[in-house]
Amino acid sequence: MSGLTVSKWVAVARAASLGRRPLAVTLDGLPLVLFRTPEGIRALTDRCPHRSAPLSGGRVVGAQIECPYHGWRFDGGGRCRAMPGLIGEVPRALVPAHEVIERDGLVFVATAKDPGTPYVGALSGRGTVSLRLENRVTSTLAEVAENILDATHTHFTHRGVLRGLSPRRYTVEVTVTGGDGWVEASYVGEPRQEGLVSRLLEGERAVSIGRFISPGIVELEFRGPDGPRLVTTFHLRQAETDTVRGVAVLSGPSRLGLGYLKAALFFPLFRLAVEQDQRILSAAHARRLQFPDIRQMSTPLDVMRPHIDAILAGRRPSVADAPARLVMSL
């Protein structure tokens, strides 16, 4: 993928999970409340300036959100418009407001000024069938991102689901490239996978690509001879210390028969794979906390991690200047 522009938008929820009630989400430890107004979705810091009650516990009245404690009302810009019981002019009271947009069934919050265009997924806007899932895991963003992009764990963690039951491996050539804020690995040489998920969806697989895009997008793209067949895009964020939350979008071109029936069949398996990862990631995280001074060991098979770490630290991944190649048995 070339010319990939990295944005400062972070997907924090599925649009479908934001109904008439306000929705609480956290982003890097910052509590936010999302709510719908007739003009669109709004996002405020989830703390009332009066006595600090979470506004997300209140209700939406027209274009305003009402605090559940004493009923102060705030507009989408965070300005207090009513203080029940107070006679005379409403004194100035402000809650920080955050830029927010809805795109392709996801709600994105900006983490900086001039956030650019949100990256929804590789197939976005191309007549696709999509399914979305929200989840949480006790771990760090780097560990979860690596896990999703790590082809070597699937033989064990996902035996029978993403992989077949046979221990057979194939020689695969991996090319890792990148740019400012992103890295991707292409795998060539894998035959069609025998796991249930692959059987259902992919057909003949020509190349698989795994990519990480700042600030927390992890994407797996399976391409057949005629283009992308299946893309899973995980929008991850470190919600709190030790908690990663994510919205996963599963999409495929509808013209290739990834109709709702197939997608509906596939979804429970996808969920199962996600649960398998959640279990191993949480267990490993607990061990890391017990052995905080011991570094984790890596080998050349851990192709993505150094680049994910570099990007998360704000550095340019080394593969941006010189692509890396290696052959592995997968």
Residues found near ligand FES in the complex (CB under 6 A): 48, 50-51, 53, 67, 69-72
**Exposed, middle or buried: residue 143 (CB in 10 Å: 0-12, 13-18, 19+)?**
middle
Residue 70 binds what, of ligand FES, Fe ion, none (CB under 5 to 8 Å, by partner type)? ligand FES
Task: State which residue, 190 or 277, has the beta carbon closest to Fe ion.
Answer: 277
* One-letter identity of residue 311: I
Task: State which residue, 27 or 308, has the beta carbon closest to Fe ion.
Answer: 308
Position of minimal CB gap to Fe ion: 277
In angstroms, what is the minimal distance from the CB of 68 to ligand FES? Answer: 7
In angstroms, what is the minimal distance from the CB of 19 to Fe ion? Answer: 31
Task: State which residue, 74 or 270, has the beta carbon closest to Fe ion.
Answer: 270
Site for Fe ion, rule CB under 5 A: 277
**Residues contacting residue 67 through CB under 8 Å, at least 6 positions apart:** 48, 50, 53, 55, 58, 73, 74
Task: State which residue, 74 or 187, has the beta carbon closest to ligand FES.
Answer: 74
Residue 79 binds what, of Fe ion, ligand FES, none (CB under 5 to 8 Å, by partner type)? none
In angstroms, what is the minimal distance from the CB of 53 to ligand FES? Answer: 4
Task: State which residue, 71 or 306, has the beta carbon closest to ligand FES.
Answer: 71
Residue 185 binds what, of ligand FES, Fe ion, none (CB under 5 to 8 Å, by partner type)? none
The 10 Å Cβ neighbour count of residue 128 is 21
How many angstroms separate the CA atoms of 310 and 146, rounded?
13
How many angstroms separate the CA atoms of 289 and 189, rounded?
38
Task: State which residue, 221 or 277, has the beta carbon closest to Fe ion.
Answer: 277
Residue 277 binds what, of Fe ion, ligand FES, none (CB under 5 to 8 Å, by partner type)? Fe ion
In angstroms, what is the minimal distance from the CB of 150 to Fe ion? Answer: 7
Residue 305 binds what, of Fe ion, ligand FES, none (CB under 5 to 8 Å, by partner type)? none
In angstroms, what is the minimal distance from the CB of 59 to ligand FES? Answer: 13
Task: State which residue, 55 or 263, has the beta carbon closest to ligand FES.
Answer: 55
How many angstroms separate the CA atoms of 9 and 202, rounded?
30
Residue 50 binds what, of ligand FES, Fe ion, none (CB under 5 to 8 Å, by partner type)? ligand FES
Residue 48 binds what, of ligand FES, Fe ion, none (CB under 5 to 8 Å, by partner type)? ligand FES
In angstroms, what is the minimal distance from the CB of 88 to ligand FES? Answer: 17
For the CA atoms of 150, 228, 177, 317, the dihedral, rounded to the nearest 10 degrees, stands at -60
How many angstroms separate the CA atoms of 136 and 143, rounded?
13
